[in-house]
């Protein structure tokens, strides 16, 4: 068995080389951890965005969206300023937000036809209803479309 003093470095250059190797090892570990974390963050963001769709290919949003997740992703994108979340995920999120906003706008347009709970406004005419009906057809989720259409049909 070797003595402790045999295991110690005999020159300063050996000491500096070992110290440098340790520093390089720590820096490599930090870079690996950061890159691994970024990959996980982007995977989670992609998963959360995809989970808002019933059918991703047809871009059919779910009936009940997870607004907490959407708000979190939006804040993460805003805070990261494009450094953490990839550009493709930012684009997917923006597209999802556009769909959600369009759905809210259509629901509001139907609600704006009413004056109170059961009465419709005086300025509502068949042209306005027909235009809104065409707008409602842009909703790809049949449950939401049918709900909005049923409200429109009561007028």
In a domain, 3, yes or no: no
Residue 2 belongs to some domain of the structure:
no
List, in order, residues 6 or more apart from 52 with CB less than 8 Å away: 61, 62, 65, 66, 69, 70, 96
For residue 26, tell me if it sits in a domain.
yes
Domains: count for the chain = 1
Report if residue 8 sits inside a domain: no
4, part of any domain: no
Q: Is residue 138 part of a domain?
A: yes
Within a domain: 36: yes
Tens of pLDDT, residues 35-53? 877 788 888 899 999 988 8
Q: Is residue 71 part of a domain?
A: yes
Angle of CA points 80, 71, 32, to nearest 5°: 35
Domain carrying residue 108: 15-153
129-155 pLDDT per residue, tens: 888 888 888 888 888 888 888 887 776
């Amino acid at each position: 068995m070797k003595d402790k003093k045999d295991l110690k470095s005999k020159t300063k250059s050996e000491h500096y080389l070992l110290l440098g190797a340790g520093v390089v090892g720590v820096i490599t570990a930090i870079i690996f951890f950061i890159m691994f974390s970024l990959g996980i963050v982007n995977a989670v963001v992609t998963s959360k965005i995809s989970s808002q769709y019933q059918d991703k290919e047809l871009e059919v949003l779910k009936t009940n969206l997870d607004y907490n997740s959407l708000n979190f992703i939006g804040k993460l994108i805003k805070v990261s300023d494009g450094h953490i979340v990839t550009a493709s995920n930012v684009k997917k999120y923006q597209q999802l937000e556009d769909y959600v906003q369009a759905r809210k706008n259509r629901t509001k347009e139907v609600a704006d036809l009413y004056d109170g709970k059961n009465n419709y406004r005086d300025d509502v005419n068949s042209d306005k209803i027909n235009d809104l009906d065409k707008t409602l057809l842009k909703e790809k989720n049949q449950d939401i479309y049918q709900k909005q259409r049923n409200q429109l049909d009561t007028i």
